[in-house]
Structure 1
Amino acid sequence: MKKLILTFTALLAFAIIVVSCDKDDDHQVPATSLPASASTFLNTFFKDVTIRKVEKKTPTATNKTAYSLVLANGIEVDFDQEGNWKEVESDNDTAIPTGFISSTIVSYVDTNYKTAQISAIDKVTAGFEVELTNDIDLLFDPSGQFVKIIL
């Protein structure tokens, strides 16, 4: 019996330590808590799409995402703390709106991949990573000039 109590106590202590070490400070918040520029972005490019979930995240040195939204059409949009978009991605490889994407990038895709559309775009240090509906990933520099196909 003493061994059983000791084992139970050890397991309970382990569970408490694991839970207390969890640094996941992400939590759901109302859409009204978004920065004004994020709300403007959504009203401009996703006007008639319902927001299903807004999650406030703790930005890290490598990932500056502060808000992550899931829209009713399956598109996820990530914003930084100021409300600037960081990533827009369709969860089912369908096209995303392109009005906020550099016209240089959109023209390049339209010209070189006539049967594909943009299903995701991510701001990265090197510029923009663009995923197409045909599963091809492209890298563009900050000015929107094509750099390479990402393998």
Structure 2
Amino acid sequence: MEVSYLIVPLVKGSENAFNQELTKLFPFGKMKVLDVHDQLLLTLYFDIDNLLDLGVCSEEQLLQTEEIIHSFSRKHPYLKLLYLHITGGSVCFYEGYLLKNRNKVMEKSGLDSSYLPLIQALVPVYEERTFEPFLSAFVNES
């Protein structure tokens, strides 16, 4: 499994605030809004293996994802954006950062729950060891 995520905290009532813009920037991504401890999180994700296998996009396009996220961050400097890349199967490696106005304000990488401080930067009360979007069942839903 290889998946990249962009997670954007939202204010209640603005669930669709960035849908159109992000759909235009990332036409091959999937989006869901989650309510995690009363914090809405717009979760945009890319199942890289699946996208490449189906020929939906090229590896070059996927490599541009981070650049586009940085541009999106510059356009919305007030937002904290979480970018996270996961590789693995039963044991996963997590690599990600929190971005605000194109600046990385926190970076984490490692195994198991190494991503937890990044999630807690968006949802301070988050303590669970498993984050729903990182489950293969979540990624495989259509």
Do both proteins adopt the same fold according to a TM-score greater than 0.5, normalized to the shorter chain?
A: no
User: Quick check: which one's strand share is greater?
Assistant: 2
TM-score by length of 2: 0.31
TM-score by length of 1: 0.30
Which is greater in Rg?
1
Pick 1 or 2: higher relative contact order, CA cutoff 8 A, min separation 6: 2
